[in-house]
Structure 1
């Protein structure tokens, strides 16, 4: 895959990809590693299964497969503690897990405008994997003073993104970006050769390829530090015409 302009600032930084045992997750993990990031690929599947998916793609040398059920708070907490200890925190989180409508994400609440934040007990956050990951990522970024980027890849991700952006806007001195990528139908098959494979005009299947989602993630990450893609909708041309 040709390096994407603007990705050099993420070189040697840590990216966490959830759902990395899937075709889309493996494609995203491989693409980020190809841009020089240190990638930790998480999935509830055994590490061997994650590695098998990654081995079908290029750029796997900098990908660390780690089994973690992100819906399990204990496993997730242990994993993010490990990330802080061994990687100095999380710079990028790409979440490819199912999502429900959020309540409150970061774990901070404000009783009135301008008031200092205080910790609260969440509701949906305590059980929903995407929200759990977002909360842990924000805590890691704030703790390690990282201007990171959280990307939710899901058709329902816009609600989470908007809520999280509003909460982060009320937390002082952070430049954490949040992006929602809402894809149409995506092939569940890993490409036969590289993560750079895309659907051709001769392919009658009205779906996106995993590489299309990986490219969308790279596009969001490649924006300048002061710019943010809040929401990105992507679908195949054939699907649009149905």
Structure 2
């Protein structure tokens, strides 16, 4: 079991939703938590008393150099990373035949490429410092089945790609005889502001009023569970759905 006290965690997409809940949960475990997000001030205001263990870094994860600069800042000012929680994510209408190239790019850069870049950098730092670290990629259950919604195809593709990448990193680490562990954690519908931010407040409320959902805190608790497992255990994939979920209702 990893001793989390005073260890360093980096959480991407830390300003709201699952990221914000995870920051709070890790702080309660005594970790030094660094939040990456474009809205740095929102991270700084997440908790009032954090005993100097909360750090906020302004990082746009669609810009590789900002990610690398963020990791360098953490290593220099807080310490080498022990736990990486990749959580940054965006939605967007993303058909292939009529979709917008900029939207595709933002989706793939945020939901997939940033995870690959942070994973590579974290493994490099953990390996150099002999840290048996843990990387948890927040994915989505939508990466496991097709809703047959053309306007969702690029978002879903980013999640499938993330599943493939995460498992192959696990195998690559095994072939390196590394003790670094990696998990793809896929929630179902979570009540956050991502739907409202993408499609408007009214649609967000309508969705959460018609189907079961779980809370950001439920995912944060699941992250703590994954981190609590013995070193011999690597939970490679985990799915967390709301009780009574019928995914077909999402495609209506």
For the aligned pair, the TM-score class normalised by the smaller chain equals 0.7 to 0.9
CA contact (8 A) 1:30 1:63 kept: no
- Give 1:33's aligned residue: 27
Q: Deviations over 1:35-94 (max 9, x none)?
A: 11110011122x112223x13x88685221111112211111111112222233110000
1:21 aligns with 2:25: no
Q: Structure 2 vs 1, CA of residues 60 and 27 (structure 1 numbering), >3 Å: closer, same or farther?
A: farther
Structure 1 contact 98–129 (Cα < 8 Å) conserved: no
**Cα distance between partner residues in 1 of 2:244 and 2:83:** 31
The 5 A counterparts of 1:74-89 are 74-89=65-80
Asked if the contact 1:16–1:94 (Cα under 8 Å) also holds between the matched residues in 2, the reply is: yes
Aligned to 2:179: 175
- Aligned 8 A contact 2:214 2:242 in 1: yes
Q: Distance in 1 between matches of 2:72 and 2:191?
A: 34
TM-score by length of 2: 0.70
1:199-231 Cα offsets, whole Å, 9 max, x none, are: xxxx98511100000011001000011111111
Secondary structure in 1 matching 2:9: strand
The 5 A counterparts of 1:43-62 are 43-45=37-39, 47-52=40-45, 54-55=46-47, 62=53
Equivalent residues in 2 for 1:55-74 (5 A)?
55=47, 62-74=53-65
Q: 1:162 aligns with which of 167, 184, 192?
A: 167
Asked if 2 retains the 8 angstrom alpha-carbon contact of 1:24 and 1:214, the reply is yes
Check whether the contact 2:14–2:88 (CA below 8 A) recurs between aligned residues. Answer: no
Alpha-carbon distance between aligned partners in 1 of 2:88 and 2:116, rounded to the nearest angstrom: 10
Structure 1: tracts of 5 or more residues without a match = 1-5, 100-123, 190-202
State the alpha-carbon separation in 1 of the partners of residues 49 and 188 from structure 2.
Answer: 25
Query: Contact 1:30–1:59 (CA<8 Å) still a contact in 2?
Result: no
Distance (Å, rounded) in 2 between the aligned partners of 1:93 and 1:160:
16
Secondary structure of 1:237's aligned partner: coil
Match of 1:232 in 2: 238
Q: Which residue of structure 2 aligns with residue 213 of structure 1? A: 219
Per-residue deviation at 1:186?
Answer: 0.5
Q: CA–CA distance in 1 between the matches of 2:19 and 2:129?
A: 26
The alignment partner of 1:236 has SS state of coil
SS at match of 2:136: strand
The answer to whether the 8 A contact 2:71-2:121 is kept is yes
Contact 2:13 2:89 in 1 (8 A): no
- Corresponding residue for residue 141 of structure 1: 126
